[in-house]
Amino acid sequence: MVGMAVLFLVPLIYLIIALNTGDLLWASPVFSYQPQTIVIHCFGEDVYLESGTTDFDSLTELVNQNISGRKRWDSLTMSDSTYLDYQSDPQMMVVELSYSEPIRVHSRYKFYSNVKQIIIPLVGRHAQRNAVFGRHGDLPVPGSFHVGTMAPIRGYLAETGLCLEP
């Protein structure tokens, strides 16, 4: 009886969550998208990484590793004014990845199913929360994902000299 209940309930629960999120792969922790562009907003200066370079590929791999795995969704949403600050404020370090096609961050939440940009604050507003924000065109995606740490990304930027804190 217990075995039959498990055989029936587990697929049913999985299907209900899949229907709710619109994502059959909602349980997959893997994030493995290749961005089209990467811009590091480094304390008021922009650093553009060219696709195919070692830095571009290494930073893409670090971001994908950070976003893969456990993440927590939060209602904290990046405002348009915060986004503008991220691009020009001399007190902030932010990595912005843009994708040619909309991407999906797999999770048990419906959010982040149509994202064209990933914004990762490393120093400044919301950086201490390890937040990952999304945008689609000119609109922010509601909420944010929070990961364990951004230290590997910050460390790589410092180690390579791509972005050094003043």
pLDDT above 80 for 121: yes
In a domain, 1, yes or no: no
Residue with the larger pLDDT of the pair 67 and 7: 67
Please list, in sequence order, all residues whose beta carbon lies within 8 angstroms of the beta carbon of residue 135, skipping any fewer than 6 positions away. Answer: 78, 83, 115, 116, 117, 119, 141
In a domain, 71, yes or no: yes
Strand partners, 123: 93
| Tally of domains in the chain | 1
In a domain, 133, yes or no: yes
Chain position carrying tokens 């400044």: 124
In a domain, 77, yes or no: yes
Range of the domain at 75: 28-160
In a domain, 20, yes or no: no
In a domain, 8, yes or no: no
In a domain, 154, yes or no: yes
**pLDDT tens digits, 38-87:** 999 999 999 999 999 999 999 999 999 998 887 788 899 999 999 999 99
Predicted TM-score (pTM) of the model is 0.85
